[in-house]
Amino acid sequence: MKQFKLVLHQAVLSIIGEKSKIFYFYHDWTSEKENKLHKGNCKHCDYGMGRLGDEIRGESGVWIGPFDTAALADIYILENNLNPHPRCLACSP
């Protein structure tokens, strides 16, 4: 499974390139305080792949995106009635 995640990660990077100005929203339905907007190149986001640990993807939350701007991500969050969220402190989108 870990090998599949690495291959998927490489595919995502090859499609979007190394764009640092794209954004992802992490929606965690088990802990609303974890709902945060991230830059794609954030160490916590890694272009929507997360930290690639041994967790089961989708077990507690999902990465949504990419969004071309933080404003577009905010619109998505509001239109889908997701809870207000802080920005990631590591990447400050």
Average confidence score pLDDT of the chain: 80
Backbone angles phi, psi at 39, to 5 degrees: -75, 150
* pLDDT tens digits, 75-92: 999 998 887 677 888 888
User: Tokens 């954030």 appear where?
Assistant: 42
* pLDDT tens digits, 12-53: 656 555 555 899 999 988 887 788 999 999 998 888 888 766
pLDDT of 15: 59
Q: What stretch of H or E contains 38?
A: strand 36-39
First CA to last CA distance, the chain: 31
For the whole prediction, is pTM greater than 0.85?
no
